[in-house]
Amino acid sequence: MAEIVISTAIVGVMTVAALESVNMTYRVRRINSNRLTAQGLAQELLAEVVAMPYTDPQNPGGAIGLDAGENSTSR
């Protein structure tokens, strides 16, 4: 009878450990999938922004560069 109780406890502990490792693997896959999706969406958005023509809202049709009162040393 003691062997049955001990073996049941060992099998239970091993089952819990196996399920925890499967759960962690699933979580890591989901996180990596989300990161890849986010990176792809960011690249698509950047490509869309870069493809658009730039127009200065303060000087439409004017030259691109520094405006009056701006200097190139400060951001």
What is the predicted pLDDT for the residue at 75?
A: 58
Report whether pLDDT(65) > 90.
no
| C-alpha 64 chain-centroid distance | 34
- pLDDT value of position 74: 66
pLDDT tens column, 25-37? 999 999 999 999 9
Would you say 46 and 52 are in contact if contact means Cβ atoms under 8 Å apart?
no
What's the predicted TM-score (pTM) here?
0.52
Helices (H) and strands (E) in the chain, counts: 1, 0
